Amino acid sequence: MIKFTNVDKFYSDGNKSLDNVNLGIKQGEFVFLVGHSGAGKSTLLKLLTREEKISSGRLSVLGEDITKIKASKVHNYRRNLGIVFQDFRLLNEKTVYENVELALRVVGTNAKEIRPRVMEVLKRVGIAEKHSKYPHELSGGESQRVGIARAIVNKPSIIIADECTGNLDIHNSIQILKLLNEINEEGITVIMATHDIEILKLFPKRVIELKEGKIIKDTKREKYEINV
Ligand SMILES: Nc1ncnc2c1ncn2[C@@H]1O[C@H](COP(=O)(O)OP(=O)(O)OP(=O)(O)O)[C@@H](O)[C@H]1O
């Protein structure tokens, strides 16, 4: 359902960030993307979210050639995605409830459905009792739970997470990974870029390693041999 075929990505300064990437990810897989800083992890994720466009090759997601989507229609495509950020990106002047609610409002959800869906998803991530708090009143782990609630409230097919545990301690990172794992077990594809070696050890998943824009390893081994 995600297929990169001979994908290159050059930025406007001529920097080649992805070099002939060939990669298939099936619906329901959980994939870690690893590699040194500058290896191309964020670039690969940005191609999937259509924040950036490929320079050559082909990229299809959910059966659609996403390079052909017009800029004015990209928001429709993104409804299939739940995006989780390292720095949470919550709106500071909105409560937990309102941050999640907004994701439903922007896609025109029926007003009657909104409250039950927001509360259900806040319960799902274990943060329902904090629904009226503001982001500055939350810990990092709590903030990321809200980030995940916002990402899943529209029932996406794919979760894209760029270093989503990068600002958390190991305890909170594990809690967030457990949550992503549960979400994945419901059939949602999870693609997560990480530098977090402890997480890779604890959650044996497919690991794709990038180096200088190329995939140099793609493994489903129980224990990934860490050299990042
Ligand atoms: N907007 C941009 N314009 C020009 N070059 C860029 C841009 N974004 C990234 N790059 C370059 O592309 C390469 C890959 O960067 P990318 O951010 O994808 O790496 P990364 O593996 O995610 O790194 P990190 O782990 O530090 O986040 C790097 O050489 C980077 O300098």
**Strand pairing class (206-211; 56-61):** unpaired
Q: How far is the CA of 137 from the centre of ligand 1 (A)?
A: 32
Nearest CA to ligand 1 atom 3: 11
The mean per-residue pLDDT over the stretch 196-217 comes to: 94
Asked whether residue 90 is domain-assigned, the answer is yes
For 194, the enclosing helix (H) or strand (E) is none
Task: Supply 188's token pair.
Answer: 């949602």
Asked whether residue 63 is domain-assigned, the answer is no
Q: Which residue has the higher pLDDT, 224 or 147?
A: 147
- Does residue 226 register a pLDDT over 70? no
* pLDDT bracket for residue 222 (50, 70, 90): low
Q: Is the pTM of this model over 0.90?
A: yes
- Does residue 228 register a pLDDT over 70? no
Answer yes or no: is the C-beta of 194 below 6 A from any ligand 1 atom: no
* pLDDT bracket for residue 12 (50, 70, 90): confident
Domain that holds residue 88: 27-53+75-220
pLDDT given for residue 14 in this prediction: 84
The span from the CA of 35 to the CA of 91, in Å, is 31
Asked whether residue 141 is domain-assigned, the answer is yes
Answer yes or no: is the C-beta of 9 below 6 A from any ligand 1 atom: no
Site to substitute for ligand 1 among 43, 195, 197, most atoms within 8 A of C-beta: 43
Long-range contacts of 114-118 (CB under 8 A, 24+ apart): 117/153, 118/149, 118/153
Per residue in 97-155, pLDDT tens?
999 999 999 999 999 999 999 999 999 999 999 999 999 999 999 999 999 999 999 99
The span from the CA of 4 to the CA of 44, in Å, is 10
Distance in Å from the first CA to the final CA of the chain? 28
Answer yes or no: is the C-beta of 41 below 6 A from any ligand 1 atom: yes
Asked whether residue 3 is domain-assigned, the answer is no
The mean per-residue pLDDT over the stretch 83-92 comes to: 96
Q: How far is the CA of 60 from the centre of ligand 1 (A)?
A: 22
Asked whether residue 146 is domain-assigned, the answer is yes
Nearest CA to ligand 1 atom 28: 38
Answer yes or no: is the C-beta of 17 below 6 A from any ligand 1 atom: yes
Per residue in 28-83, pLDDT tens?
999 999 999 999 999 999 999 999 999 999 999 999 999 999 999 999 999 999 99
- Does residue 221 register a pLDDT over 90? no
How large is the ipTM? 0.95
Estimate the crossing angle of helix 140-152 against helix 170-185, to 10 degrees.
20
Asked whether residue 22 is domain-assigned, the answer is no
pLDDT given for residue 223 in this prediction: 54
Nearest to 63 by CA among 106, 34, 27: 27
Atom of ligand 1 nearest to the CA of 213: 14
Atom of ligand 1 nearest to the CA of 210: 21
Asked whether residue 157 is domain-assigned, the answer is yes
The mean per-residue pLDDT over the stretch 155-168 comes to: 95
The span from the CA of 152 to the CA of 73, in Å, is 21
The CATH number given to whatever domain includes residue 216 is 3.40.50.300
The span from the CA of 63 to the CA of 1, in Å, is 6
* pLDDT bracket for residue 186 (50, 70, 90): very high
Asked whether residue 62 is domain-assigned, the answer is no
Q: How many domains does the chain have?
A: 1
